[in-house]
Amino acid sequence: MTDDLTRLFRTAAADADRVIAGVTPDQFGAATPCDGWSVHDLLNHVVGGNKFFLARATGTPGPSREEDFIGDDPLGAFRASVAELADAFDQDGFLARTVSTPFGEGPGAVLVTMRINEYLLHSWDLAVATGQHRDFDPEVVAAAEKTMRGRPIPRGGGLFGEEQPAPEGASAVDALAAYLGRRVPS
């Protein structure tokens, strides 16, 4: 389980890296499937999320949510933040260690799983917003689907919208995005 979870984290991060690498500065103002968020906002959220999860993983104070985490190099900022987070996640015993999660105290595996899910969903959002392919690692998609469909999810309040219809023949990731409240383009 340990090796699988950290491997999935790296795979999800690689998929996110590929999508972020395909974003051009002229697309920063484009709307995303996340209501009210531009591509720039979402890039900043993903990198900021890495910083917040690093703080939770290490028990240190988190950064200000108002911070610009990406500057003029979103890809470089993403890569640096993933490297820092991977170092924390790779520490011996981290996945079983009790840490602060957004839901209270829990094992480090909760943080890793949440990052995997967020990388997948927000990479999908960025791919849709910037016209990129929505091809993601099938193991990551299956793991995220199992996690997200395996428990009640908070709908509304800016987290997840109401389930949307998925087009007939939708891919697994498109169907998951629709389940999580995203409108899937045809």
pTM score > 0.85 for this model?
A: yes
Query: Does the pLDDT at position 26 exceed 70?
Result: yes
pLDDT at position 155 is 79
Residues 8-34 have a mean pLDDT of 97
pLDDT at position 3 is 62
Residues linked to residue 155 through DSSP beta bridges, in sequence order: 160
The pair of structure tokens assigned to 118 is 């967020």
Cα separation, 83 vs 93, in Å, equals 18
What is the number of H-type helices and E-type strands within the chain? Answer: 6, 2
Quick one: fold of 2-136?
Four Helix Bundle (Hemerythrin (Met), subunit A) (1.20.120)
| Interval 61-80: pLDDT, tens | 999 988 999 999 999 999 99
Higher pLDDT pick, 24 / 157: 24
Count CA atoms within 13 Å of residue 120 on its CB side: 30
Residue entry with tokens 């520490």: 91
The pair of structure tokens assigned to 13 is 């991060």
pLDDT at position 158 is 65
The CA-based dihedral angle spanning residues 82, 135, 172, 95, taken in that order and rounded to the nearest 10 degrees = -20
| Interval 124-142: pLDDT, tens | 999 999 999 999 999 999 9
Whole-number mean pLDDT of the chain?
Answer: 94
Cα separation, 7 vs 35, in Å, equals 31
**CA-based R_g, the chain, Å:** 16
Domain boundaries, the chain: 2-136
The CA-based dihedral angle spanning residues 10, 160, 57, 28, taken in that order and rounded to the nearest 10 degrees = 60
CB 9 within 8 A of CB 3: no
